[in-house]
Structures are given as structure tokens and as C-alpha cells.
Structure 1
Amino acid sequence: MTLTSPYLENYPDEKGFYGKFGGSFVPPPIQEQMDKISARYNEIKNSPEYLKELDKIRKEYQGRPTPISYAKRLSEHVGGAKIYLKREDLNHMGAHKMNHCMAECLLAKSMGFKKVIAETGAGQHGVALASAAAYLGLECDIYMGEVDMLKEEPNVTRMRILGTKVIPATTGLKTLKEAVDMAFMAYMEDPENIMYCIGSVVGPHPFPMMVRDFQSVVGKEAKGQFLDMEGTLPDHVVACCGGGSNAAGIFSAFIEDKDVKLYAVEPRGKGTGVMGEHAASIQYGHEGVLHGFNSITLTDSNGEPAPVHSIASGLDYPSVGPEHAFWHDIGRTESDVGATDLEAVEAFFMLSKLEGIIPALESSHAVAYAIKIAPKLKGQTILVNLSGRGDKDLDYVVENYPEFVDKKF
């Protein structure tokens, strides 16, 4: 593995590539807007005024820094390693998504946009963008798969209360990929007057870079906090990975620390490996372009985006952020890393009952993987990015997994 140091200053390159992954593959009118966004971001990302305003919002509105909690009872129950949690579930509106949504809306406002749009899967990105838009006085439209709207009804209600229009995607599987398709189509119709605030480290350059940079606050905080608590760095850092924003945020601080192992936990769904029954892009995908960027993508026999499945609506996407593809390609993140629906549900209830923390189903994939590897790592430490809380998932898991409700751990 060879990485140019300092990493964050050297990746991506000027064209938005991480090795062979990334870039911008969009029509000329959209590329013109991407170039404007990139130029403006490069102007303000080190601006004292912009950073001061963003820091003030994070401290006084979002509730940053979020703490690290030692999961003592969970650690004792599974044995082996000590498990710690970076508590992004305590971030305003219950997930890490606010970290980039507020920054993107500040950027949009500085460029004179009056309206922002986005896609959402689990609804956390939608709620975060709706909150940021309301705070900064911007109009907001959110595109969401019809299936996900039914599954994540509490978040749909939150978005509407916050003044956002929620537009259902009613074609195909009616989930995240279709929501992205609709949002891109809406953006292409009027790119000069609206800004598309992409919800993960995906899409055309500069969005994978910008979202990573905005989410890097998680890793910077966690690294300092863990050093204060343990006097050393964690041995293992674990995060769920669909598109990969929360994972990119926490991994970015440890990417040059070669002794820290990094695990991007993919959704293995039903655990069969059969197309349409998982959303594990890194494990089963191939290089290809989707939604304006080159990465590892799940495709069918015709080369089209494959159907995907995950119990977690925020993870059912048929590709992964280009930086995650790059990290895996060079061996910086571990291989063969994932959790099934059932493993995630069990982790959901285990963390709830042993620690009094109800995690999002997305985050439960990371907890499940930590539970899986901890018994083999006695004397070591695992830091899990608990990217969101599970309020939105309560009705779904109780209805579909009643056998866990009264189970003792």
C-alpha cells in the first residue's frame, strides 16, 4: 500500500479521481455547474468566516462534539475486545448527516441558490437537509422511494413538518436508487437555480470530496477523544457502508495510521450472495459508472444497475463511494466485511437492551460486525461509528421481528 502524505491534501487529484475511481461523468450543462461548485468550495473551505460560522452552528445548533461511549456491558457480553461507540446518534436530528447537510446549505447560500434538493433512503439525509434548509431560509425538495416512505414514515413526517416537500419515487424497486434517479432528473432541468446536495460520498466530483471533508469532523473528534480516554489509538475502526459518508468521515482521520484496521461493513441482506438479495457492492460488484462517478457497482447481465436489498433503507444502493473503492483496491480497508439483515436486527436489540442505546438499522450493521470480531480480539479495542439512532426503525423491527422484543441477552 502506498499513499501520498498528507493524505487529505493529495486525494482526490484535480479531476476528482482516487486512483482510477471517481471523476465526473455528467452532461456538459451539469459539468458547468459542478465546476462552479468546485471552484466556490475551494474558495471558501479554508475561509475563516465560513469555518467560524460552521463551527458556531456545529457547537450551538448541532450539539458537537458528540462523545465516545465505552459499551461496557456489550463488551462483557460478547467477550474479547473492548467496544467503544462514537455517538453520532446524539447529533441534532439523530444522525451524522447534519455534518455535511449544514455545510452544503451554507455553500449553496453563498452561491446565491434559493433552493436545495436531494435524495434520501432511510430519511436521515432528508431530515438533516430539511433542518439545515429551514435554519438557513432555503426551499427544499426531497426525493424518496415510495417503499422507503412507508418503511420510514416518522422521517417523512419530520421532513414535512420542517417545511420540505417529499416527492415519492414510484418506478423500479421504489427505493434509494430510484430516488437518486429522480433527483438527478430534476436537477438537470434547472441546474442554474437549484443545488443538488448529494447525501453521501457519491456522485460526480466535487461531491465525494466535499462530503468526506464535511464528515471528517467525526474522525478528528474521535481520534482526539480516544487518545484522551485510552492513551492510544483504537486497534480497529468499524462503520457501516452503503454510499459510505459516515465511514469516510471517521476513516479519514486514521487513514495514515497503518496499525489501525478499518472495516467498511456492507449490507449482506439475506446472506445468500444472490443478486437482488444484498447491497454489498465492494464484495460482489465490478468497476463501472453510475450517477456520474466511476466506482465499484452491482450490475446485472446487461450491465445495468442490479436490484439491491437491505433491511436498512440507507444502505440499499448498488454502488459505493469512489474513495471506498480506492481504499479497498489498495488494501487500506479490510476485505470480506459485511453483516446480514438478521445480524443487524440482533445487534439492534442487543445494544438497546445492554446499553440503553437504540441504534439505526444502518448503524446496527457496524455494531453487528464489531460483535462478530470482538471475541477473537482479546485485549484490543474496537471503535464503532454509531452513525444514527433508531427511532425511525422502531415500528418496522417490532412488526417484523417480534421474537426479539422480549428476548434477553
Structure 2
Amino acid sequence: MIRIDENGFYGKFGGAFIPEMLYPNIEELRENYLPIINSEEFQVEFRHLLKDYVGRPTPLFLAERLSEKYKAKIYLKREDLCHTGAHKVNNTVGQIILAKKLGKKRIIAETGAGQHGVATATVCALMGMDCTVYMGAVDMERQKPNVERMRILGAKVVPATSGSQTLKDATNEAMRQWINNPVDTHYIIGSVVGPHPYPEMVAKFQSVISEEIKAQLLEKEGRENPDMVIACVGGGSNAAGAFYHYYNEPSVRLIAVEAAGLGIFSGKSAATTSLGKLGILHGSRTLLMQTEDGQVVEPHSISAGLDYPGIGPVHAHLFDTGRGEFVAVEDEDAMVAGIELSRLEGIIPAIESAHAFSALNQLSYNPSDIIVINLSGRGDKDLETYIKWGNY
């Protein structure tokens, strides 16, 4: 059984390893988040916004040409059709309502690919709350359209200029800011990472993805369970959402796709389950790419959203127990898969999502199998990267 205990652990992964100054913030959240989000008042507002603002349910689309090529029945869960262009908004809608009920006036967030930043800026504009987003300077350069979207929405975008100047460093900056402003500020973490209760809370908000898949497959195929669910994993919120209602359905294969960058052992990779070992990152015990003396190894991926040196504790547990199957896809193969989806189905995916499609080349399955791929975001933000790559 995949479950979380009262201290926020999935098996040996998770918990809250935090500096003393963060304890009041985390404790306030831990004590209040379940009573709030389980209340009828919260659920009514959350479901209303998911339907009328985000645009849920998102379609489950039978990709006939892709299915013909790969000799299986392949459905795409169209999270790219959410307002803001990715699954991230499911979580930010939930957390902004929670922050409001906790009496917070100010929101901070971190972002890699910029989609979570845009989703946070969006809900802050909706609710009239002050918003500051921390983003690695390198990611700001390669995801310029999302930086400008955040600014148009009224958010302040602060560059993180330490370390590799990517997602890890943006998260560090956001946590420092939260320590300094504990009373009026809520930190909207964008993935299933960080100290408890964040990993489980974010997964709960994203679980609407698998909730819908079950209902949609029942309607289309007469069964709730596919044979396989495939999703990319950086921190892993889209995968957690797509897997959530299938954790304890052993007949459903859960395929998590990491970024191998220039090659798993090239020194330019983000394939955490291949390269990582047990460590503490951003407040939780998980698998982490690190040196012999415990220093974080800088990750690399062509996709800003997968450019992270660890994975969420639930995914570390899925890997450790063998419940999840983990594969790694190199930059070049992900780009090829992104163009292939564009040509076969008329959908340009985010490069993060393209990694999930490339995994089809590494997996074995039967022609009768039903495969659901979580198309977690659209490729508008990545056009410059596609253009620079150029092989189309």
C-alpha cells in the first residue's frame, strides 16, 4: 500500500527537516490544511474554480495516429488545455483558497519552467493578493515568455543568481524569504517536494487528474483502469496527480520519466533515480543527486521544469518499492518526440511532456494495452528552444 503516515513519510522518504525559524509556518499549515480542504465550503469553491476558471474536466483524447505508430491504444490527458497552459494551476487554485482561509495577504512561489509561476501569478490576480515569484536567472533567460506573462499579471519576478541559477536555487530563495516573513505570507510550492505537508497537499490538489481519467476511461472503454500511465517527473506533481488514484491498483503500471540530459552518466543529467542517493533537499528526505560529501550535484535538462536534482518523496518511495517504473530520456530524444507529436496529432507539447512521449520507445507493452500519457503542458513557452534545436 502506498500511503503517507502522520509525520509525512512515504516509507523512509518525506518528513519535515526544517530550520527552527520555519517551524511555526509549517506547523500552522500542518494543523490546518486537512480541516480546511476537507470542508464543504472549500470544496465548493475549489470545484467551482476548477470547472469555470481552469476549464476542467480536461479531455481524454484518443491519439489515433500515435496509437497506430506505437501499436497500442494511446490516450492523452490534455492538461495542456488548462487555463495558463499546464497542470500547475490545479494546485495554485487550491493553495490560494487555503491561503485566503489562513488569513494570508501575500504569496511567494518558486518556478523553473515558469508554468507554476504563471499559475501562481494568475490566481493572485484573481484573488487580489500580492505575488512574488523566484526564478533562476538561467531559467528566466530560456523561458522569457513566461517571465513576461507573470509581470503582465502583476507579479514581481526575482532572479535567483546563486548556484546553477535554476529551480533548486529559486526554491532556496523562496524559502529564505518565507523565513523572513512568516506571519502574512504563504509559500505556494509548485511540486510534490518540500517539507510535510506540501508533498501530500500538492498531490491531493493534482489528484483531480487521475480522478477524471478513471471516469473518462469508464465512459470510453467501460473500465476505470488503463494498463499503463506515463508522466514526466522532475519534482513530480503532474505524475503524482496522474498516478494518485492508481497507487494501490497493482494492475496499472506507473511509468515515471526523468530527464537524462546529455546522457545519464554524462555529468549533465537530471536522472535522479539512476544517480541519486538518500539525502535531505528543501525540507524532505528523498533521493538526491549529490557528491560523496553530500553537496548537491547541479542537474541538467533541456527542459527547465525537469532541471531539478531530486524527486518528490512519493516518487522516491514508488521507485524504492518497485511500484513505479522509472525510465530516463535524453534531451535529443525528447525533442524528437515533441516534434513527432506535433506532426502526428497537431499538438505541440511542452518539452517536459515530450519526455513522457519519448518513453514509448523504451517500454514493452501489448497491442491491446490502453496507455494514458499525461500531456502536462503545451509548448508555447518552449518555442525558442524548439527553434534553437532546429531539427524539424
TM-score by length of 1: 0.94
Q: 2:76 corresponds to which residue?
A: 85
One of 352, 358, 362 as aligned partner of 2:352: 362
Q: 1:385 corresponds to which residue?
A: 374
Equivalent pair of 1:370/1:382 in contact (CA under 8 Å): no
Deviation of the 1:283 alpha carbon: 1.7
Structure 2 residue matching 1:196: 3-state secondary structure: strand
Alignment of 1:58-97 (within 5 A): 58-77=50-69, 79-97=70-88
Structure 1, gaps ≥5 residues long: 405-409
Q: Residue type of the partner of 2:304?
A: S
Deviation of the 1:301 alpha carbon: 2.9
Q: 1:299 corresponds to which residue?
A: 290
Q: 1:407 corresponds to which residue?
A: none
Percent identity over paired residues: 49
Query: 1:26-78: per-residue Cα shift (whole Å, max 9, x none)?
Result: 1223122111111111211211111000010011100000010111111212x
Structure 1 residue matching 2:304: 3-state secondary structure: coil
Q: 2:343 corresponds to which residue?
A: 353
Query: 1:191-242: per-residue Cα shift (whole Å, max 9, x none)?
Result: 1121111110000000001000000000100111112111232111000000
Equivalent pair of 1:200/1:208 in contact (CA under 8 Å): yes
Q: 2:7 corresponds to which residue?
A: 15
Structure 2 residue matching 1:209: 3-state secondary structure: helix
Equivalent pair of 1:62/1:92 in contact (CA under 8 Å): yes
Query: 1:100-154: per-residue Cα shift (whole Å, max 9, x none)?
Result: 0011111111111111101100000000000011101111000001111110101
* Distance in 1 between residues matched to 2:264 and 2:98, nearest whole Å: 43
Structure 1 residue matching 2:209: 3-state secondary structure: helix
* Distance in 2 between residues matched to 1:96 and 1:403, nearest whole Å: 28
Structure 2, gaps ≥5 residues long: none
Structure 2 residue matching 1:252: 3-state secondary structure: helix
Deviation of the 1:305 alpha carbon: 0.7
Deviation of the 1:284 alpha carbon: 1.3
* Distance in 2 between residues matched to 1:43 and 1:256, nearest whole Å: 25
Structure 1 residue matching 2:371: 3-state secondary structure: strand
2:363 paired with 1:373: yes
Equivalent pair of 2:37/2:98 in contact (CA under 8 Å): no
2:214 paired with 1:226: no
Equivalent pair of 1:61/1:92 in contact (CA under 8 Å): yes
* Distance in 2 between residues matched to 1:316 and 1:140, nearest whole Å: 24
Deviation of the 1:394 alpha carbon: 0.6
* Distance in 2 between residues matched to 1:120 and 1:91, nearest whole Å: 18
Q: 2:317 corresponds to which residue?
A: 326
Structure 2 residue matching 1:373: 3-state secondary structure: coil
Q: 1:310 corresponds to which residue?
A: 301
* Distance in 2 between residues matched to 1:53 and 1:163, nearest whole Å: 23
Q: Residue type of the partner of 1:176?
A: L
* Distance in 1 between residues matched to 2:330 and 2:377, nearest whole Å: 18
Equivalent pair of 1:83/1:370 in contact (CA under 8 Å): no
Equivalent pair of 1:370/1:384 in contact (CA under 8 Å): no
Q: 1:161 corresponds to which residue?
A: 152
Equivalent pair of 2:306/2:352 in contact (CA under 8 Å): yes
2:262 paired with 1:273: no
Structure 2 residue matching 1:295: 3-state secondary structure: strand
Residues 1:371 and 1:94: Cα distance change in structure 2 (over 3 Å): farther
Deviation of the 1:272 alpha carbon: 4.2
Structure 1 residue matching 2:302: 3-state secondary structure: coil
Q: Residue type of the partner of 2:157?
A: V
Number of matched pairs: 391
Query: 1:315-348: per-residue Cα shift (whole Å, max 9, x none)?
Result: 111110001111111111014x121111110111
Q: Residue type of the partner of 2:280?
A: V
Structure 1 residue matching 2:305: 3-state secondary structure: coil
Structure 1 residue matching 2:240: 3-state secondary structure: helix
Structure 1 residue matching 2:98: 3-state secondary structure: helix
Structure 1 residue matching 2:29: 3-state secondary structure: helix
Equivalent pair of 1:24/1:31 in contact (CA under 8 Å): no
Deviation of the 1:371 alpha carbon: 4.4
Structure 1 residue matching 2:360: 3-state secondary structure: helix
* Alignment RMSD (CA, Å): 1.1
* Distance in 2 between residues matched to 1:27 and 1:173, nearest whole Å: 23
Deviation of the 1:259 alpha carbon: 0.7
* Distance in 1 between residues matched to 2:10 and 2:264, nearest whole Å: 31
Q: 2:134 corresponds to which residue?
A: 143
Q: 2:246 corresponds to which residue?
A: 254
